[in-house]
Amino acid sequence: MSEDPWRLPPATLEPPPEPEYQSPVHQERSLLRRVGGSIVAALLAVLKFGGLILTGLFKFKFALSFLITAGVYALFFGWEFGVGLVLLLLVHEMGHVIQLRREGLSASAPMFIPFMGAVVAMREMPKDAWTEAKVGLAGPILGSIGALAVLVWAEQVDSNMLRALAYVGFLLNLFNLVPVVPLDGGRAVAALHPAFWFVGLFLVALLAFHYQSPFFFIVLVFVAFEVYRRWEGRNHPAARAYHDISWAHRVIVFTVYISLVLALVVGMHYAFVTVN
C-alpha cells in the first residue's frame, strides 16, 4: 500500500530546554553592568551638552556682560542713559579692537563690568612700545568721536540727558588718558618714558584721597602694583628693546596725547549741564 503524500508525519513532542541557571551574584553583576552603562551614558550626555552650553556662554559673554551692565546702569540712571553709557564704552573698546587687528594682534571681545568700565584682553603682546601706544590711544580717539556725536545729537534735539551722556563720555575717555598703566594713557606714555607712570600714579592718588571713593582706591592699588612690576623690569634687555623707538614716533604719540587731552576738556566744557 502506497504512502499518502498528504499525510503529515506524527509530531514529536520534546520537552522545552531548561533555563540556564544564573547565580544571584551573576544576576547582580549583570544588573550593575546595565545600570553602570546607563550612568556612563548619562554622564557623557551631560558633559557633551554642558560643554555646548558653556561654550555658548563663553561665546556670547560680550552680549551677556553688555546686557547685565546696561541693566545695572539703568537701575540707577534710567534705561536711556544706561544703554547709552554702555554703547559709548563699546565704541571706546572697539577702537582698541580695530587697532589691534590692524597690527595683526588677536584680542578678546569687549567685556563690560558694572561701575568698572570695560576691558579688551590682548592674547599677545605688541612688538614694541610704539605699537602699544597706538593701541592705547585708539580707544580714546574713537571714544571721543562717539561722545562728540552724542553732543551734536543733543544740540540738535536740545536734550540735557544727551548732553550729560556726552559729558560722561568725555570724562571717561579723559580719565583713561591718566598716564599710568594699565590705563590707556599709561600705554601711550610708555612710548615716551616710563617715568611718566609716576606722574599718573600721583594723579590717581590725588583723586582717591580727594573724593574718598572706594573705586579710586581700588584703581590706586592696582596701578601701583603694575607700575612697580614694570618699573622693576625696565632695565631688562627685552624691556629696553621694547621701548627703543624712534624720536619721530615719540613726537607723534606726544602730539596725539596732548591734543586728545585738550579736546576732551573742551568737550566737557560744552557738554556741561547746569542743574537748577
Q: In whole angstroms, give the CA distance from residue 230 to residue 132.
A: 14
User: What is the reported pLDDT for 195?
Assistant: 87
Give pLDDT, residue 2: 45
- Which pLDDT tens digits describe the chain residue by residue (276 residues)? 444 444 444 544 455 555 554 544 445 445 445 544 554 454 454 444 444 444 444 456 778 888 888 888 888 888 899 999 999 999 999 999 999 999 888 877 788 888 777 888 777 788 889 999 999 999 999 999 999 999 999 999 999 999 999 999 999 999 999 998 888 999 999 899 888 989 989 998 998 888 888 878 888 888 888 888 888 887 788 888 888 889 999 999 999 999 999 999 999 999 988 765
The x, y and z cell numbers of residue 41, run together, are: 551614558
**47 vs 67: CA distance, rounded Å:** 28
Residue with cell 587731552: 261
Residue type, 229: R
DSSP string spanning 179-239?
SSTTSHHHHHHTTT-TTHHHHHHHHHHHHHHHH--HHHHHHHHHHHHHHHHHHHTTTSHHH
pLDDT digits (tens, 9 = 90+) for 177-209: 999 888 899 999 989 988 898 998 999 899 888
- Please count the other Cβ atoms lying within 10 Å of the Cβ belonging to residue 145: 14
| pLDDT confidence of residue 175 | 92
Degrees to nearest 5, angle at CA 274 with 270 and 276: 160
pLDDT value of position 18:
55
* Residues 6 or more apart in contact with residue 84 via CB below 8 angstroms: 150, 162, 165
pLDDT at 55: 46
Instruction: Measure the CA–CA gap between 198 and 189, rounded to whole angstroms.
Output: 11
Kindly report each contact of residues 53-60 with a partner whose C-beta sits within 8 Å and lies 24 or more positions away, as own/partner.
Answer: none
Residues 6+ apart with CB under 8 A from 99: 134, 135, 138
Residue carrying the nine cell digits 627703543: 244
Q: How far is CA 51 from CA 40, 54, 63, in A?
A: 16, 5, 19
Q: Residue 167 in contact with residue 119, Cβ under 8 Å?
A: no
